[in-house]
Structure 1
Amino acid sequence: MSRTRFSRRSVLLGTGAALMAPGILRAQTPELWNEAFPSNEPVIRDTTPARRNMSSFKTRDWQDHFDTLGAGAILCDITSRAVHYWGPDGQTYRLYPSSVPMTDELTRRGRTQVVRKKVGPTWTPTANMRDRDPTLPAFLPAGPGNPLGTHAMYLTWPAYLIHGTHDTRKIGRQSSSGCIGLYNPHIEELYGLTQIGTQVLLL
């Protein structure tokens, strides 16, 4: 029984991989995919995450969301829990699984842009975060315990970021206080590709 299940899963993953560009494949190693979309997942912050459909994690065309590429474009698709990146050359494309906000109340949608980038970000929880969870520290330096992971990109909206995470269980889930989170290897790659001024759309 387990061998049949493994074979069927291998065929599905293999077929999906064959349809995707090489740049996308680098963003979806089997180990990270399995962590991002586990068949069984625990409750996060006492809220049962919505079931995910692998078919919703698909490539998109930048022309459907942006007039021009300019310095590049990032689409954070909150529904499918995926981040899409298009480079200014019109050829570079990446697709990554992501974490998304825990509730609609914490979710912000619309257009913004990357205004600052930081390797080894520090973390200062907002007053609202500490009101919701009084156990949060006032400040955390960069390092393994920092929820922003290894790299962070700051948007025009205060306290909203695209960042990494050391807690890989969060990826593919409703687990953030408003930010978009990526695996550390993925945010490192996206960080290197992204220019200041890159347009961002959260939908």
Structure 2
Amino acid sequence: MFQLRITSSKLLVLAGALFLNTALSLPQAVAGQVSPPPLVLSPNLAEPWVLQLQPRASRRAAAPVQRRQVVQPQVRRANWWSPRQQPVRQQPLRQQPQASAPKSRQTAPQFLPTIVDYDGKHKPGTIVIDTNTRHLYLVQNDGTARRYGVGVGKPGFEWAGTHKITRKSEWPDWRPPAEMRKRRPDLPTFMAGGPQNPLGARALYLGSTLYRIHGSNQPWTIGHAVSSGCIRMRNEDVMDLYERVGVGTKVIVI
């Protein structure tokens, strides 16, 4: 019994000595351990978590992280005086503008020659010119009249009266009177007869006046008040009238 107690005490002493030896040798064992493996970094040293491992001074010197920004296109208001500043846009196909209809060079249908009934008081062979309706009538023997469209004097140049044809001329020359050249200094003093002559193909002179029934190289003016007092006709119409009347024919302008 006594021997067993001694043995227990020895065991306790040995256990304490072992514990003390282990405690004293533990730091040395820890100090003698192999160093941990080095930290392996990602090849992309610009990653944000890597930058956090660097010292503060190094972090300032590190290249800034470049992030791709998506920029929304801005549509600028059209600047008409500086086309280069306008955004480039795909233009829709433009339709070719339709050519505007050229001004009619023809006489209106109501001023083309025709045969009409006539029950007036004037004798056959008389020429009656109605400046209001812009028509010339040649009275015939069968109760009808040949009607032609005419151009008459513009405002300020209207006139009325009764005259006789005193002269006839084919492709007449033109000598603008002094009064006309005073108003129009650009007019020539003389123009030989021909297609470009304003008197046209034929002229019927009225008494001692400066007025005439004559043709025109501007048929679209027939039916309008455009002349300086003369009575205009289409060239083909004045040629037809020229053959139907002679010197001395009575002309009544109303």
Category of TM-score, reference length = shorter chain = 0.5 to 0.7
Of residues 96, 106, 112, the one that matches 1:35 is 106
Partner of 2:248: helix, strand, or coil?
coil
Equivalent in the alignment of 2:204:
153
Residues 42-101 of structure 1: per-residue CA shift (max 9 Å, x gap): xxxxxxxxxxx98xx99463634x2x33xx1111111011111124x4566311111111
Answer yes or no: is the 8 Å Cα contact 2:129–2:136 preserved in 1: yes
Of residues 93, 108, 118, the one that matches 2:145 is 93
Partner of 1:76: helix, strand, or coil?
strand
Answer yes or no: is the 8 Å Cα contact 1:62–1:86 preserved in 2: no
Equivalent in the alignment of 1:63:
120
Structure possessing the higher relative contact order (Cα contacts under 8 Å, 6 or more residues apart): 1
Of residues 140, 155, 158, the one that matches 2:191 is 140
CA distance in 1: counterparts of 2:240 and 2:175, whole angstroms = 24
Partner of 1:142: helix, strand, or coil?
coil
Q: 1:163 to 1:62 in 2, by over 3 A?
A: farther
CA distance in 1: counterparts of 2:218 and 2:188, whole angstroms = 17
Residues 98-125 of structure 1: per-residue CA shift (max 9 Å, x gap): 111112x312201111111111111111
Equivalent in the alignment of 1:102:
154
Equivalent in the alignment of 1:173:
224
Runs (4+) off by over 2 Å:
34-38, 57-64, 89-93
Alpha-carbon distance, 1:170 to partner: 1.4
Residues 183-202 of structure 1: pairs in structure 2 closer than 5 A: 183-202=234-253
Which blocks of at least 5 consecutive residues in structure 2 are unaligned?
1-104
Of residues 119, 132, 136, the one that matches 1:83 is 136
Which blocks of at least 5 consecutive residues in structure 1 are unaligned?
1-33, 39-52
CA distance in 2: counterparts of 1:160 and 1:147, whole angstroms = 13
Of residues 127, 141, 157, the one that matches 2:178 is 127
Partner of 1:149: helix, strand, or coil?
coil
Instruction: Choose 92-101 or 161-170, whichever is displaced more.
Output: 92-101
For the pair shown, the structure with the greater C-alpha radius of gyration is 2
Using the size of structure 2 for normalisation, the TM-score is 0.54
Answer yes or no: is the 8 Å Cα contact 2:137–2:145 preserved in 1: yes
Flag the structure with higher strand content: 1
Using the size of structure 1 for normalisation, the TM-score is 0.66
